[in-house]
Amino acid sequence: MKKIFILLLLFFLISCNIKSEKELKILDYTIVEKNDFSNLNNLRMAFRIILNVDKLPTKKEMKDTATYLWKNEKKLWKEFTVFLYLPEMDTELGAYGIGVYDKDGLVKFNTVDISLNGTKWEIIERKQKQTNTKSEKIICDKFYLNVDLKDNILSLSIDSDLPDFTSIIVSISRSYWAEEDTDEYPIDYFYEKSNLKKWKNTQSVVLNNSQWKTKLKERQDTMIKIGELDYKVNKISDNISVDVTVHARQPNSAFGKRNINLTGKEVTIENIHFVRKEKEFFFPYQ
């Protein structure tokens, strides 16, 4: 009876081990170097391997392969590191994947994209990233400005289906015209670049005409300093403009270069993709 129990236990342990290895997606590889860099207090080993692949492996595939190697070596070493290279990479230079293990398991696993520079894999990786980026669209079918002006307090909130992480530029300005010039020149009461999440909640801005007048005087002084000695203001608008823009330099890569992934009813498409809404309100300067 005792022998049967032991046999069943061994069968269970072997089955668990086989199942664990099946869950790992192990790539074909060649070990090109084993480097024992142990010291008196620590047994340490590093493997350099080349992955025998014809397409760019996923991070999980590389991590699984490194973990498989560690499992076979973990009884011998307290620290174990695997450097993973792709075919035609120079194994004397930086690795594409690096797995670091201690006696208990994985400590960290990183991929280093810059290591592919100058190899055929650099182009493959770039194309793969472009394909992944193009497949994910960010839709903007709604972008509405809720604006309320009472005395000199302007309240603004934005109702939009864009994600909270969308970066926007909010500006509130008044325009003026210079003498003998038909162009309109805005000066800001308020200017801020922030995320949409903040402005989905109502924000209040104080419109200070004294500060605006000071900015106008600074603009005139600047124009005179650069040689426009007769620069004078001809007209100041009685309206203020509230302007909100989803700009093309989004910090989140999901938008793609020049917002290529931004689409929808509210999106303007030129050489870039962007969203812009503007509202004007009567707010006399004097």
Claim to verify: residue 152 and residue 252 sit in the same structural domain: yes
Do 113 and 232 fall into the same domain? no
Same domain, 117 and 143: no
- Cα torsion 50, 56, 62, 64: sign: negative
What is the structure's pLDDT at 75? 87
pLDDT of residue 135: 53
Structural domain includes residue 207:
yes
Please say if the pLDDT value at position 5 is more than 50: no
Residues whose CB is less than 8 angstroms from the CB of residue 86 and which lie 6 or more positions away in sequence, other chains included: 50, 51, 53, 56, 57, 96, 116, 119, 121
146 with 121, same domain: the answer is no
Question: How confident is the model at residue 97, as a pLDDT?
Answer: 95
Q: Is residue 256 part of a domain?
A: yes
In the listed set 76, 106, 131, which residue is the last one of a domain according to the structure? 131
Please give the average per-residue pLDDT across 79-107, as a whole number: 93
Burial of 170 per CB tally in 10 Å (0-12, 13-18, 19+): buried
Kindly report the backbone phi and psi dihedral angles of residue 97, in degrees, each rounded to the nearest multiple of 5, phi listed first.
-125, 145
* Same structural domain, 61 and 127: yes
> Do 179 and 55 reside in the same domain of the chain?
no
pTM value is 0.54
Span 11-70, pLDDT tens digits: 444 444 444 445 678 999 999 999 998 887 889 999 999 999 998 889 999 999 999 999
167 and 96 housed in the same domain: no
* Residues 276 and 159 occupy one common structural domain: yes
What's the CATH code of the domain at 183?
2.60.40
Residues 153 and 265 both lie in one domain: yes
Of the pLDDT bands very low, low, confident and very high (cuts 50, 70, 90), residue 7 is very low
Q: Are residues 68 and 145 in the same domain?
A: no
Short-list 120, 139, 2, CA closest to 53: 120
Number of domains within the chain: 2
Query: Considering only 57-71, 83-97, 222-236, which range has the smallest mean pLDDT?
Result: 222-236
* Number of CB atoms found within 10 A of residue 41's CB: 6
CATH of the domain at 103: 3.10.310
What single DSSP character describes residue 258?
A: G
What is the distance between the alpha carbons of residues 229 and 96, in angstroms, rounded to a whole number? 61
pLDDT greater than 80 at residue 87: yes
pLDDT for the residue 9: 42
Residues 266, 180 share a domain: yes
Q: Note whether residue 16 is domain-resident.
A: no
Asked whether 84 and 70 are in contact (CB, 8 A), the reply is no
pLDDT digits (tens, 9 = 90+) for 179-229: 877 888 999 999 999 999 999 999 999 999 999 999 999 998 898 888 887
Domain-located, residue 3: no
**Do 160 and 249 share a domain, yes or no?**
yes
Look up residue 102 and give its two tokens.
């201690």
Q: Is residue 9 part of a domain?
A: no
- Is 230 inside any structural domain? yes
Q: Does a structural domain hold residue 71?
A: yes
Picking from 111, 131, 151, the residue at the C-terminal end of a domain is: 131
Classify residue 238: in a domain, yes or no: yes
Q: Report the phi/psi class of residue 5: left, alpha or beta, with left for phi > 0 and alpha for psi in -120 to 50.
A: alpha
Q: Which domain holds residue 110?
A: 24-131
Token pair 């590191």 in the structure block, residue: 81
Report the pLDDT value the prediction gives residue 210, as an integer from 0 to 100: 93
Per-residue pLDDT reduced to its tens digit, 103-116: 889 999 999 988 99
Of 77, 110, 131, the residue at which a domain comes to its end is 131
